[in-house]
Structure 1
Amino acid sequence: MRNGDKSIQGICFGEVLWDNLPTGKKLGGAPLNVAYHLNKLGVVTRMLTRIGRDENGSELLSACEQLGIPTTLFQFDDSLPTSTVEVTIDAERNVQYEIVYPVAWDRIAVDTVVLEEVEVIDFLVYGSLACRDEISFQSLLLLLEKARFRVMDVNLRAPYFGPEKIHSLLKYADFVKMNAEELHIISDWNGATATSTDQQRVDLIMERFAIQEVIVTYGADGAVYHFKKDNISYHFPALKVQVEDTIGSGDSFLAAFLAKRFQMQDGVQLEEVLEFAATLSGFVTQSSGACPAYSPEDINRFHWLNPIFRDSNLKVKQ
């Protein structure tokens, strides 16, 4: 898709929260992380969420405004608190989360104004975690009926997921991002076997739910982009960086990919889109937290210092 004379705009639906890390409190939530990076990359993206009328909510609202995340679609809850998550990081730098329930974003509401907003934007990004409560889930289904282009960022967090809701969300998706573990869980629900390859698992999901584009992330092993229209699967490596933590690296990859995809001009190749996504993801991985400060010059310099070895592989599916 090309930008043309019109600026690209999106909405991210779902959770916003404070990650209570061993090093201190950090702003978080997968859809918020995606919104942060999209806005940094020049794609105006509002956050549709709900926070409590409490100190954490006031601090979160101020933090989002300071980060350049539009807050005009924030909702405020008089009874439920702003979300917090207890985060632990093990010796291998893997992250574990304890997510409090219920919180304000479990009660996201929609009205005529919000539905009209969703009808005119270019894309809606949504995840599965925000659907753990029926109120937010039903609100999202109303939005998905109106959205032009629907991006599902799978975010399976035990015990807040099951096949029924995930399948309902996948039926609406035009574009899906998931990690390898999530790919295996969802494809197993749909008939994959122990001998099924990842390619077969992706094909199974894309065919059953009529999904056009899928990205599967593999951490240090990069990502694979699957495009149904051209019948291709494209592997691109991850940057080799010193890992600070892995919080938000997948979110930044998705944001960078979407920004390039929607701002795409004639002559921009898929390799450029994926390379940009891998570069931003690598920068976030070697930074602390999901929303580190950066400028375009910072990313350009990081790319220059950390060139990607182009062992990418394009496969035309038979």
Structure 2
Amino acid sequence: MKVLVFGEILYDVYGDKYSIGGGPFNFAIWLSRMIGKKEALTMISALGNDELGLKALEFAKKEQINTSCIELSSKFPTSKALVFLNEDKIPDYIIEEGIAWDNIIFNEQISKSLDFDYDIFYFNLLAQRFDASANTLKKIMDKVKAKFKVFDMTLRKNYFTKEKLSDALNFINVLKVNEEELELVKKLFYPDFKSDIKQILTLIQKDFNIPYIFLTLGEKGSCLQSLNGFFTKDARKDIKIVDTVGAGDSFCAALSYALVKNLKEEEILSFATEIAENVIQLQGGTTFFDFYHIQKKYF
């Protein structure tokens, strides 16, 4: 399995505690762990040439990620995001601007990475918030060769445009959204649509030609609209939620892995749900747990 990931690496800050993260990086870490092979996954990002950045780079290497396309910037610092959890343990963020991953520059290393054929290419919306990184992503999208083009919206504040969202939806064949993000899609593209989830997912699938649309519903579980129909998975009710940061990223990593492994729709949802349900019982989006027994059940 060969994977290319584009997007932010940052530190989630909980008071005086720093936890490495960023949606694409969380995704990359979990997927790299599932693959279990050195440098099968390449990450395209940027870090500051500072203490936090060097620490993040070393962590990525320990997780067997190919870091040749992670730039170290002497001009822009490593990113931090202040995390606030509401009473339902749902996070909100204040994300610094003028930081390294806002300035991912297309270079020779990135160009070389596009010579390969990939099973998965992953990107999100947040990493496109400013022109430098957005322009680099456009060049990558023009050239990348991948069986599954996975888009996890990662909606944050007002860091999006309808044009960027439309370009992404027209490019991909796998979409992962949560309820809030689905509401944004409805507001921008289907403002008069009043029907149920199944119908709106079917409409998005048809209009943008997306074979797989995954929707996470928090405590209500998740669902999948594929070319074979509509599938649902209930969430367990007996889980003590500690922190939902990174849950959606681990879910997306698991579904991506399962797609490449040709699992059936019901099994994809079950596997991704089991992984995410364990992540939310831990502090931090990349905290390791022994997931191999779950993996062995399905593969």
TM-score of the superposed pair, with normalisation by structure 1: 0.86
Deviation per CA, 1:79-126: give whole Å up to 9, x if none: 111110011112221211000002111111223542342342222100
C-alpha deviation, 1:297, in angstroms: 4.3
- Counterpart of 2:77 in structure 1 is 81
- Counterpart of 1:287 in structure 2 is 282
Aligned equivalents of 1:292, 1:42: Cα separation in 2: 17
Q: Return closer, same or farther for 1:263/1:247 CA change in 2, 3 Å cut-off.
A: same
C-alpha deviation, 1:170, in angstroms: 1.4
- Counterpart of 1:11 in structure 2 is 4
- Counterpart of 1:221 in structure 2 is 220
C-alpha deviation, 1:200, in angstroms: 2.5
Aligned equivalents of 2:52, 2:287: Cα separation in 1: 20
**Could you tell me which amino acid in structure 1 is paired with residue 64 of structure 2?**
G
Secondary structure at the counterpart of residue 36 of structure 1: helix
- Identity of counterpart residues, as a percentage? 28
- Counterpart of 1:151 in structure 2 is 150
> 2:275·2:291 contact (CA, 8 Å) conserved in 1?
no
Aligned equivalents of 1:244, 1:40: Cα separation in 2: 22
Deviation per CA, 1:59-79: give whole Å up to 9, x if none: 211222233333222111121
* 1:272 and 2:267 correspond: yes
Q: 2:130 aligns with which of 133, 145, 159?
A: 133
Matches within 5 A, 1:1-318: 8-22=1-15, 24-42=17-35, 44-111=40-107, 113-118=109-114, 119-147=116-144, 148=146, 149-193=148-192, 195-228=194-227, 230=228, 232-240=229-237, 241-264=239-262, 268-297=263-292, 299=294
Secondary structure at the counterpart of residue 168 of structure 2: helix
Deviation per CA, 1:174-212: give whole Å up to 9, x if none: 111010111111122112426222222222322222212
Secondary structure at the counterpart of residue 55 of structure 2: helix
C-alpha deviation, 1:45, in angstroms: 1.6
Count, aligned residues: 290
Secondary structure at the counterpart of residue 72 of structure 2: strand
Secondary structure at the counterpart of residue 143 of structure 1: helix
> 1:33·1:291 contact (CA, 8 Å) conserved in 2?
yes
Aligned equivalents of 1:83, 1:263: Cα separation in 2: 34
Give the unaligned 5+ runs of structure 1. 1-7, 304-318
Moved more, 156-165 or 121-130: 156-165
Give the unaligned 5+ runs of structure 2. none
Let me know the Cα RMSD of the aligned residues. 1.9
**Could you tell me which amino acid in structure 1 is paired with residue 6 of structure 2?**
F
> 1:222·1:236 contact (CA, 8 Å) conserved in 2?
yes
TM-score of the superposed pair, with normalisation by structure 2: 0.91
**Could you tell me which amino acid in structure 2 is paired with residue 48 of structure 1?**
I
Deviation per CA, 1:248-271: give whole Å up to 9, x if none: 11111111111122123xxx4332
Secondary structure at the counterpart of residue 121 of structure 1: strand
> 1:130·1:136 contact (CA, 8 Å) conserved in 2?
yes
Deviation per CA, 1:208-227: give whole Å up to 9, x if none: 22212110110111111111
> 1:215·1:225 contact (CA, 8 Å) conserved in 2?
yes
**Could you tell me which amino acid in structure 2 is paired with residue 211 of structure 1?**
I
Moved more, 33-42 or 234-243: 234-243
Q: Return closer, same or farther for 1:271/1:205 CA change in 2, 3 Å cut-off.
A: closer
